[in-house]
Structure 1
């Protein structure tokens, strides 16, 4: 090996980031399904709506990184469970805003707590979690540019 042996290669670091994200998402998916009966997408929808408020389905799909038909199926399931509702959009009556119900807000808090619990376990042994968080936020901003 040449150069600074403590600096990972961009390829290795990219692989590690993808793997860590995938493993965390899988852990969230498994526990959310087991504990709350939610899919990973349903969990994402609850968290997005809890932080951003009501949205139309295309905005919600974009925020969750899926297509509109996929988000529609997940929202339908959320409506059936009483976690989300559709309300006529005031600006464009042809559209419906998707919003959390009180039960949806409570479930979003439970999902947040689950993710925080998994993140604490994932960060075990990490010396500077604050620095890691700042770095990952910058990685996200960089990826959103392109």
Structure 2
């Protein structure tokens, strides 16, 4: 391995670690504020945002999108149903499946969570100029596309 390859490998490792750390810290901050302000967990926040965007999903899709197992999603959905934020309905295309969707209250809560995430993101990005933000946004979008290939 040449010196340049070693330098690039170290840089990639550092960037990978920094991406993971930034994502983890943002998720933790969202979870803390969502719990404090709305009484919901970070996972429920993720689920609300996903369901607001996609309409409805079956639990295995939701679990995969949130990076957790199906039983964890089941518990979070049960809690969301108890709070009147989510509902289960029979899938019209395949009656064996159950779709998870948002209630009207769930859609309102998803908007509140979206505003909370935007507020935290603004704080996290403080000090970056508009050109830097544009480069960061495109770079992160490319990272996401690259990771979706796996």
Q: Name the residue aligned to 2:109.
A: 107
**TM-score of the aligned structures, taking structure 2 as reference length:** 0.90
Q: What secondary structure sits across from 1:9 in the alignment?
A: helix
Q: Name the residue aligned to 1:31.
A: 33
Q: Name the residue aligned to 2:46.
A: 44
Q: CA RMSD in A?
A: 1.5
Q: State yes or no: 1:143 paired with 2:130.
A: no
Q: What is the distance in 1 between the residues matched to 2:118 and 2:100? A: 25
Q: Which has the higher helix share?
A: 2
Q: Name the residue aligned to 2:135.
A: 131
Q: What is the distance in 2 between the residues matched to 1:13 and 1:98? A: 36
Unaligned segments of structure 1, at least 5 residues: none
**TM-score of the aligned structures, taking structure 1 as reference length:** 0.92
Q: Which runs of 4+ in 1 moved over 2 A?
A: none
Q: Name the residue aligned to 2:11.
A: 9
Q: What is the distance in 2 between the residues matched to 1:50 and 1:114? A: 15
Task: Give the number of equivalent residue pairs.
Answer: 142
Over residues 39-93 of structure 1, what are the superposed CA-to-partner deviations in whole Å (9 max), with x where a residue is unaligned? 1110011000000111111111111111111101100000000000001111222
Q: Name the residue aligned to 2:87.
A: 85
Q: What is the distance in 2 between the residues matched to 1:11 and 1:92? A: 44
Unaligned segments of structure 2, at least 5 residues: none
